[in-house]
Amino acid sequence: MKLIRQCLLQLFGRASHTEPGQATTEYALVLLGAGVIALLVVAWATEGGGAGRIGELFDTVIGNIIGRTDAVG
């Protein structure tokens, strides 16, 4: 496993222990990106016409579940 890590570090040009805090920074950037995507999805779902589509999807899923339970029982 250590060999794979060293190969990847050499391939991408990163030092293993010479950049303290880099993992924390990368983690923060990933969280920031996920937060931005979540906000865009919420904005689309509430104001961008997505609310109707989500409602239709919910109705379709619930209708299919009810239809299948009625067919069985």
Could you list the pLDDT tens digit for every one of the 73 residues in the chain? 777 777 677 777 655 556 677 888 889 999 999 999 999 888 877 776 677 777 788 889 999 999 988 877 6
Q: Where are the domains of the chain?
A: 33-73
Say what the pTM is. Answer: 0.45
Instruction: Take residue 3 and report the two structure tokens written for it.
Output: 């060999």
